[in-house]
Structure 1
C-alpha cells in the first residue's frame, strides 16, 4: 500500500515537473516507477518511441524540476512499454519480402520502345533494352 501511495505521489510530482516544461499533455501517457538494481533510478515507461525521444531530450531539465519538488534523481531512464517493444519486433520479423514486378505496364513499355527506336542498331544500350523487353512481357 505504501508503494502504491509513493508511486501516486511520484506521478503527481512528475505531472507538475512536466507542466513547468510545457509538456503536461504527456503526463497521462507516462508510467513512472523506481528501479533499484544495480543502482536506484527513475524509470519512465512510455507507449511509443516518439514520446521516448522527446523525453530523452528534456531529461536534464526534468531532473532539475523533480529536484525542486524534493525528488533527487541521479539517473532517469526512458523505456518503451514491453508490449509495444514486442509488437514492433514481431512486425519487423514477419514482414514479407516484396515480389519483383512481373511485367511492364503500357506506359513503361511505350517509353522503352521510344528510347529503343532512337538508339543506333549496334548500341550496347539497345541490346540491353531489347533483353529487358523480352524478359518482361505485358
Structure 2
C-alpha cells in the first residue's frame, strides 16, 4: 500500500505543478515551491496523519516530482506523459536506495532522468519502429 501511495504522490506532484505552472500562470519555480511547501507543512503540522514511512517520504517524492511539472509545454505537452514521468520518478526513488547518498541534486537528477525516459518512450511510439521495420523488409523483398 505504501508503494501505491508513493506512486500516486509522484504522479500528483508532477501533474499539479504542471497545471499550476501553465493553467494558472504561476511560473515554474513558484508553482513547484508553493505546492511543495503546502505538502511539507501538512506533514509537519500533522506528523501522525499517516505512517512514519509515508510522513518522511511523501514530501520528498512530491517535491522531486514537482520538478517534472516545471517542464515546458514544448518538451512535454501531454498530461499522460507527465503522469508516466511522475510514476517513473517514484519507481526510481523507491529503488535507488542509498545510491545517491552524499550527492547533491538527487531529486532533480532523478526528475530529469524520468522526463528523458518518458520523452524517449513518446518518440519511440511516434516513430513506430516495428511498422517501419516491416515496410523496410517488404521493400527489400521486392
TM-score, normalized by length of structure 2?
0.35
Which has the greater radius of gyration? 1
| Greater strand proportion | 1
| Greater helix proportion | 2
* More contact order relative to length (CA 8 Å, sep ≥ 6): 2
